[in-house]
Each structure stands twice: as structure tokens, then as C-alpha cells.
Homo-oligomer: A and B are copies of this chain.
Amino acid sequence: MPRKTMVEAIRDGMDVMMERDDNVVIFGEDVGYFGGVFRATQGLQAKYGKSRCFDTPISELGIVGAAIGMAAYGLRPCVEVQFADYMYPAYDQIVSEAARLRYRSNGDFTCPLVVRMPTGGGISGGQTHSQSPEALFTHVSGLKTVVPSNPKDAKGLLIASIEDPDPVIFLEPKRLYNGPFDGHHDRPITPWSKHELGEVPEGHYRVPLGQAVIRREGAALTVLAYGTMVYVAMAAAAETGVDAEIIDLRSLLPLDLEAIVASVRKTGRCVIVHEATLTSGFGAELSALVQENCFFELEAPVRRVTGWDTPYPHAQEWDYFPGPERVGRAFLEVVSGDQ
């Protein structure tokens, strides 16, 4: 099977869908002729023409607002916001409009729309190229929120998202574009071409939204992770020797609560990791759900390891990032009961 980077896999997912369904249209800042600052849409304009893949003015509001109108018309727009940090101008259209068209019109109008955006830090991007705003989407009824962690999933989840009848926020951990980054920023990165999950099936396939996957089985501890943090957790498990069961959530909403509960019931311990700031991050929801559903099985407090409650700094990036050392320490404390 061909190996692809995550960017290539995402591009492939769009390509497959544009080929199959001429209602799929793609646009955003720099996505047309140039193919996007991360090159995710490279070649699509040449292949499908300017009216199916084009550059837009720099207005995230305009991109999403126009896409909602198109979705209401019957198209399936898949638009790019250049960095998740720049989605705020579009937030009203996402929250008040995309998420509620179906409900408020009782299905008269619907909004099959995908908003792709690169998230997460680790590229020296400072506070405006590093954010992970997933919790700002999971709080909004009517949205689905997806975070792939590898090329194979990314393509399958993106196809499922484009085919979904409702709006999907598709968060792409940009630090994973080229390889499975485990937080050891001082070591050379393994490229996807050397990684099993870089094997991306040809053509059309779906990874359904709402199904988590266990990346590592284990008995001592359940780790809930998504995106980049999956690899950080893997590294932490390897380095601490803690027999962690690592769940890659893949989709935060809908959430695979069953998989989570089954694992925590088995291990009795749970660590949640994400890159976003702690307070009111998605980890809070996960923590609440775990203790609501597994209270009597829990042997230690559910623990969150996350970015700190500060903007993402430029120079202190690796002090902010919840790397394998910090995650590993939490593993050890949770299994030892040493809180």
C-alpha cells in the first residue's frame, strides 16, 4: 500500500470526494492556485477547475458564511481555515448558524459542511499558530468535532466528515503532518513513510465518526488522548514502563463513551492528555464523564495533563507543551497512588 504523509492523505481524501461528488467544493485563503500554506489542496484547482477549488478573500467569516449558504443550496463545502487560531472571526457563523440550521428549521435547511483547520503547537508558532480550540466546539450542540492522529485515519475521517449530513469541525494536528511526533522535539522525527499508519488505502473508505481506537492495550491505566498526544502518551508509556492502555478518541463529538468506560472499568485509573489549556478544556468533560460512569471502579483520581492556562508562548514552547516527561510523571503518580 502506498505510504503518504498526513497532508497527502488529507489531500487524497478531498480528491476522492471531489471526484465522486461534484457538489464537493473547496476554498479558503491561499487554497486555490497555490494549494494552501500547508499544501493540503495542492493540485485540486488544476484538476477540478476554479469554480470547485478557489482562493478567497481573507475573511474567515466570509469563508464559513458563504459555505453555509452553499451547503443550504445543496453543495458539500469543505473549507480551510488557515490556522485554528484564526477561526474566531467565523465563530458566530459556526455556532449560531452552521450548528443550528437543521434544528431551527426542523430539517427544512441543513448544513453538510466541513471546516478544516490545523491545530496544536510545536512549530514555534507562538500564541497565534498553536492553539487547540476543540473545547470551544464540543460545547456547541449541533457540531461534530474530529481530530485524526495519522494519515490513514485522517483520510477516512475526512471522507466520513464530508459525507456527513451535519457540520463537522476537522482539526488537523499540524505537528503530525510529516510524522508521528512524540514530543521529543530534540530528536529526529520518524516520517510517515516509515510508519504503519502512513499506509493509506487508495480510493474511497470511511472511518466512522464516534469510534475510538485502542492504540496500545494495557492493564494499569487508561489514557484518553487524541491527535499529537497519542504519540506523546505512547512515548511516556514506553519510557516509564507503565502498562497503559492508550485510547485514541479520533472523534470528540460524537464520543465513543463505551470504549472509554470499558477501558477504565478494566484499569481503574485514567489519565487524560491534551495540548489545549487546562481550564474548561475537553479534558474536563472527559474527566467528568469518566467519574460519572466509572466512579465505583476508580482507584485513583482521574488526572489531566494539559497545556498550562497561559497563551502558547514562543520561546517556552516546550515548557508549555505537555511532553512525554510530564505525561510519564503523571502515569507513574496515578499508578502509584502518589497524588
Please report A residues at the B interface, Cβ cutoff 8 Å: 85, 88-89, 91-92, 95-96, 100, 103-104, 127-128, 135-136, 138-139, 141-142, 253, 276-277, 279-285, 287-288, 291-292, 295, 298, 300-304, 309-311, 339
Contact = CB atoms under 8 A, between A and B. Distances in A.
Contacts of A127: 100, 103-104
A104 B136 CA distance: 22
B302 A291 contact: yes
B88 A311 contact: no
Contacts of A301: 291-292, 295
Contacts of A287: 284, 287-288, 291-292
A139 B303 CA distance: 18
B311 A141 contact: yes
B288 A292 contact: no
Given A88-B91, A96-B128, A139-B276, 10 more contacts: A100-B127, A103-B310, A139-B281, A141-B310, A141-B311, A280-B285, A283-B288, A287-B291, A288-B304, A295-B298
A85 B96 contact: yes
Copies of this protein in the complex: 2
Contact of A141 (B135, B139, B309): B309
A142 B295 contact: no
A304 B300 CA distance: 21
Contact of A311 (B104, B280, B304, B310): B104
14 contacts: A88-B91, A91-B91, A100-B127, A103-B310, A103-B311, A135-B135, A141-B277, A141-B311, A142-B311, A253-B279, A288-B304, A292-B303, A295-B298, A295-B301
A310 B103 CA distance: 9
A103 B279 CA distance: 18
Interface pairs A-B: 8 shortest CB-CB: A88-B92, A287-B288, A139-B280, A295-B301, A284-B284, A284-B285, A138-B280, A284-B288
B311 A100 contact: yes
A163 B21 CA distance: 57
Contact of A136 (B89, B103, B139): B139
A127 B284 CA distance: 25
Contact of A139 (B100, B135, B304, B339): B135
A95 B104 contact: no
A312 to B, nearest CB: 10
Contacts of A295: 298, 300-301, 339
A339 to B, nearest CB: 8
B139 A279 contact: yes
Contact of A91 (B92, B141, B276, B309): B92
A186 to B, nearest CB: 26
Contacts of A277: 139, 141
A141 B253 CA distance: 24
A284 B291 CA distance: 11
A64 to B, nearest CB: 12
A91 B95 CA distance: 11
Contacts of A304: 288, 292
Contacts of A253: 279
